[in-house]
Structures are given as structure tokens and as C-alpha cells.
Amino acid sequence: MRSNWLNLSVVWFPTMLHDSTADCRALLIQLARLGDLVQSLPAIEALQAGHQKTSFDVLCAAPLAAVLSGARNIGRVIPWDGAQWRSWADQWADNPRDILRAVQTYLASLGESAYDQLYPLNQHSRSHLLTQLFATDRTRTEHEGHSAVYMRPWAEYLRQIAQDRGDNRVHLADAWCGMSGVKPQGQAPRCSPPAVALPGDLAPIGERPGLWIGLVTGAGEADRCIAPSTWGQWIRAVLSYADEAQVVLVGSGHERETGQAILQSLPTLLQGRVWDATGRTNVGQLMQLLHRCRWVIGADTGPLHLGTLMGCQALGFYFSRARVHETGPYGEGHWVYQHATQAQPESWPIQESVALMCEGRRQPALGWTLWRNRMDHWGTMFEDALGQQADGDSRAAVWRRLTPSLCESVAA
């Protein structure tokens, strides 16, 4: 069998050396995409605050490990190489014994495998299997107890709102705090970007003063993408409105064509103020870019979350299945235009969002509602920025219903 996993560059991000004197070792498992990993940080920080003698490791998808490089007090970041597992699965039939041995070697290479406490934030099979793989017999039993009290009620709640939406006001990041058995910290996490170099032509971004705006060109799913022509209009509007504005197009390799199409839709005179970084950055470089921007705007929640982590103010266009209350940019002072229905928008709040960004002017837009978030001890919550809808803050009731023990301890 041709085994190539040893050639894999497994990158470790030890922001803090593993504390061998720690009383307890815990592992938080987050295998989902970029946005979910960033949204796990409030839970991680709350856990760290609540369990100061515990060393917390995080297991995440290998390509995203850099996201946690600047996070505080994480013991180890364990990069999980899904591509390698896929390859092993394909080759299993050729030589089951060697594949199983390669898997065993891989798991051994990840370091000590027994944790005292496990926090699987995704409720899917892989997450549960990882929990089993990284648990001891004792912690497996304890995990069952923890799961019954915290995880399951919140997991069921999340499943329910995913199905019927309703008037939920608990942000996903805060729900993950609840699942982990801790209350939110009341402040948004901040990270410093990894010390990585940008491609030479992108290095000047953010160096001179100006209104630097990171524009997220794509989205995870096709029905959540904004057409290049719409982005072209938005860029023309903002560059006309603010002379000091500079726009940085960000996106993965899949968005290179979108980036090109946006650029081509702009007058030549404006193209000098637009920087196309689509498909040219890894996660660490994207963090570096966003760190240099004042604003991040887009429909893709992942980069929006990453932008807020890097200190950007976020402005999101939420439509299709995206909902501000569950997945809006975490923290305080971020804005979201939420489309009134799940249908593809026919018009976009272009002038309105530009006025908001450049002058702080709040304007209604037909077919859209405008939301702004604030933080308190229940986490973050988006409120109607135009005062058109009654505030339905139901978070306290939800917390009391799902995890009364946590609410009692706060009261005490």
C-alpha cells in the first residue's frame, strides 16, 4: 500500500505549551467550517474562565487551524486532516490492515489521546466518534452526564430552531456556551493575526490611512452568493461616496472568477482603489488582510465572523437561509441587513448600506430590515436598528428553561 500521509505537513499551533501541571485536560471538538470555528471562541473563552485549572485543547479541520493561532490560552490546536481520512477510506479495501495501522499511527501522532472532559460542539457522527476516541472509560461516563444536563437540551433547541426558526434570539455562539455548560462572557473574542507575509502586491493594503473595506465576494452555497454586477454597483457607490475608501476583494480560489468579474464591471478609474485578493490567501493571510481593514462586508458568514475576530466592524447581507439572530457577526456594533423572505432578493440596500458605513446613517430599505447587535451577560443579540419591530428578547427564558443550574449560579 502506498501510504503518503507521513508526507503531510501537520502544523501545530501551540499558543501555549501544554500545561502538564494542569489539574484537568479538556478537548473542544469543532469540525465544521470557518464561521463555526470562529463562533466557538466565545464558548472556549467562557470555559477557560470557568475552569481555570483546566488546559483546553481544540480539535478542528486542518486547513482552519491557523484561525486559532492568535487565540488566548488554548493548550494545543489539533489539526484534523479530513482529506487524509477520505483517502484512507477510499483505499481501505486494498489493504485494510495497513490502513488501520496508518490510522492508528496518525491518531498517535496527535499526542495524548485521553481527555478528562470533552466538548463536541457539532451534533454529527464524526464529532461523537471523536469524543469516543479521545475519552477514557471514566470520562466517557462523565461526558454522558454532562451531555444529559447541557448538551442535549441545547442541541435539541438548535435542531428545533433550524427547523421552525421561530423568534429565537439566542446566538449560535452563545448556544454553544450553553452546550458547554458555561454562560457567555459578555464580550466578543479578539485575536491577533498570525505573523504571515502577504503576497508582495497586497502588502500595501491598510498601510496608509483610509476607509479600508474587506468585501467577501462569495458564499458557501450558490443561493447565498451576490452577483458580481451587484457588488460592482456597491463598490461604485462606496468609492463615489468616500474618497478615502479602498475595497479589498476576498475569497477562495473558487471566487477568482467572481473577483475578476467584479473588477471588470468597474470603470477603469476606480479599479486602482480595488484590490483583488481572491484565491490568493490562505486562512492566516486572510486574517492578516482583514486585520488591516476597518470594515468587512458580505453575505458569507464565515469571513464576516473572521473579520470581527480581527477587529473589523461587520456589515452583513443576510438572505436565503441565513438568519441574523443565529449567525449574525458576534459582538457589539455590527450591522446586518436581513432580507424579509427566503426568496432571492430583487433589490439590494446599496445606497443605504454605504450611507450607514460612511456616515452612520440608518436608512430603511424596501424588503430588508436593519439589525445592530449589543452584548450583555446572555451574550450577543441583534436589535431592530430602525425601531420598527418590538424587541422580543426571549434569551433569559430560554437559558432558564434549558440550563436552570447555570442561571442559578449566576444569580448566586
Partner 1 sequence: MSIFHDNLNRLARRDQPLAEAVKASVGGVLAVESARSGVPSARRSGRWVHSAYDPLREAETWAQTQASACREGETVVVAGVGLLYHVEALRKQLSSDIVVAVVISDLDEFHDVLVARSLDAWSDHILWLTGTPVHIAETLSRTGRPVRCLSYTPAAQADSSFHRAFEEALRRGIASQAGGQLTIALVGPIYGGSLPIARYVKRALETLGHKVQWIDHSVHASSYEVMGALKDVRNRQMMQGRLAEVLSQWTVASLAESPPDLVLSLAQAPLTLPVLEHLRKKKFLTAMWFVENYRHLTYWQQMAPGYEYWFVFQQGACLDAVRQAGARQVSFLPMAADPELHRPLELSPEERTMYGADVSFVGAGYANRRHLFPALLGHPWTFKIWGNEWEGAEDLRSVVQRNGARIDTDTCMKVFNATTLNLNLHSTTGAGLDPLADFVNPRTVELAACGAFQLVDHRSQLPDFFTEQEMISFRDFGNVPGLVEQWLGDAAARQAIAAAARTRVLNAHTYVHRMRDLLAQIGLSQPDRVGAVLRGDRQKETLLTRCAGDAPLVGLLKAFPAGQRVELKDVAAHIRRKGPTATLKREELMLLMLDEYRSETRDLL
Footprint on this chain of partner 1 (rule: CB under 8 A): 1-2, 82, 85-86, 88-90, 92-97, 99-101, 103-104, 107, 125-126, 129-130, 132-133, 137, 140
To partner 1, the closest distance from the beta carbon of 178 in angstroms equals 24
To partner 1, the closest distance from the beta carbon of 136 in angstroms equals 11
Give the residue with the Cβ less far from partner 1, 31 or 77. Answer: 31
Q: Which amino acid is at 88?
A: W
To partner 1, the closest distance from the beta carbon of 56 in angstroms equals 23
Give the residue with the Cβ less far from partner 1, 10 or 133. Answer: 133
To partner 1, the closest distance from the beta carbon of 84 in angstroms equals 9
In the Cβ-directed half-sphere of 370, how many Cα atoms lie within 13 Å? Answer: 24
Give the residue with the Cβ less far from partner 1, 31 or 239. Answer: 31
- The DSSP output letter for 147 is I
Q: Which amino acid is at 211?
A: L
To partner 1, the closest distance from the beta carbon of 101 in angstroms equals 8
d(CA 184, CA 380): 9
Contact 111/13 with Cβ under 8 angstroms?
no
The strand pairing partners of 338, in sequence order, are: 318, 369
To partner 1, the closest distance from the beta carbon of 175 in angstroms equals 24
Give the residue with the Cβ less far from partner 1, 107 or 148. Answer: 107
d(CA 296, CA 233): 17
At 274 the three-state DSSP class reads strand
Give the residue with the Cβ less far from partner 1, 313 or 320. Answer: 320
Among 84, 30, 81, CA closest to 57: 30
d(CA 161, CA 153): 12
Contacts of 223 (CB under 8 A, 6+ apart): 320, 344
Phi and psi at residue 18, in whole multiples of 5°?
A: -60, 125
